[in-house]
Every structure is written in C-alpha cells, then in structure tokens.
C-alpha cells in the first residue's frame, strides 16, 4: 500500500481546485469547457442515453435532454466539439429564458390612461424567504415618479387595480 503524501507546502489547495475547474476535459462522455460541463448519462426512464448540461458552480443541471445512440445501438454517441457548442448555446438560452421569466414575475408594469395623463404603474417585488416585500409606484409619461407605497408581495397588479389606486389618489391599497 502506497502512503498518501501531504500537500506540498508551496501549493494552495484552493488555487489547485480553481485550476481544476477551469481545465478543459474532452472525453467521449464528459466535456468541460467555457464554464460548462456536459455529461452523458444513462436515461433512467428507458434504455437510451441523456446529456446533462451544468454550469460551473451550479448544483443542478440547466438542461437535461436525450442523447443519440452510437452505431452499435447500445452505447451513446461520443461528445464532440460541435455538439458541445450546440449544447452550451441551448443550455444558456434555457437559463436566459428562466431569468426573463423570473424578472417578469418580480417586476410588472401596467399603463393606465386617465382623463389628464397616461400613467405607468409598476409593482416591484423583492423576494426573501423570511420577509418578502413589494412596492407599487406610479410614473408619468416622462418617467417622473408621482407616488410610491409599500404593498403586500402578493398584490395583484392589473389595469383595474392600477386604475383604482390612481382614482384613490395613490393611497395604500387595503
């Protein structure tokens, strides 16, 4: 049995871990480059294969999808550069769409025409596990803020609730 030697004093384990994370890997079932890892895995649902795309630092894959069988119809087709590039592009797009969806849930806007002006009412939610909050604001057509009040994070902003808030002279909704 070979004894395990301690880390030499002139190396920093944290730096070595960072270097390993940045190292490119090009194996038939595992590719790592450009802050992404593609791993070909056995599909648990059937006899096929899947590929999981994980961004560095993330615990869960951003994308899991079917992977092509090889010529022997038993093993997966090996990963290659063009396939990896396509997977990175697709996984990045999935993350971008997720971020857009989250942004649209947390920041809503409604435009209301009043007798004297066209106003934009905005609901901005600050998520927090312990103390979520939200604010309702009104801006004129020159983006000048006319009013701002705190509201419950579950406040439903729509044209009717915005118009009612404006008609109530921007008092905090009950």
What are the tens digits of pLDDT across the range 14-47? 444 454 556 899 999 999 999 999 999 998 777 7
Angle at 18 between CA 15 and CA 21, to 5 degrees: 155
Say whether pLDDT at 129 is over 80.
yes
pTM: 0.66
Q: Which of 83, 95, 105, 73 is nearest to 39 (CA)?
A: 83
Q: What is the biggest distance separating any 2 CA atoms in the chain, rounded to whole angstroms?
A: 87
Say whether pLDDT at 74 is over 70.
yes
């Amino acid at each position: 049995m070979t004894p395990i030697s301690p880390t030499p004093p002139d190396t920093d384990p944290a730096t070595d871990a960072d270097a390993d994370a940045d190292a490119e890997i090009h194996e038939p079932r595992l590719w790592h480059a450009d802050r992404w890892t593609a791993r070909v895995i056995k599909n648990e649902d059937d006899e096929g294969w899947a590929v999981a795309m994980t961004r560095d630092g993330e615990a869960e894959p951003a994308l899991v999808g079917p992977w092509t069988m090889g010529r022997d119809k038993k093993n997966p087709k090996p990963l290659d550069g063009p396939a990896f590039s396509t997977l990175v592009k697709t996984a990045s797009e999935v993350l971008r769409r997720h971020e857009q969806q989250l942004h649209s849930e947390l920041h809503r806007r409604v435009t209301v025409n009043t007798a004297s002006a066209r106003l934009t009412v905005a609901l901005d939610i600050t998520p927090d596990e312990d103390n979520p909050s939200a604010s309702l604001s009104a801006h004129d057509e020159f983006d000048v803020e006319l009013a701002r009040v705190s509201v419950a994070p579950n406040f439903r902003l729509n044209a009717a609730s915005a118009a009612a808030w404006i008609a109530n002279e921007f008092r905090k909704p009950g």
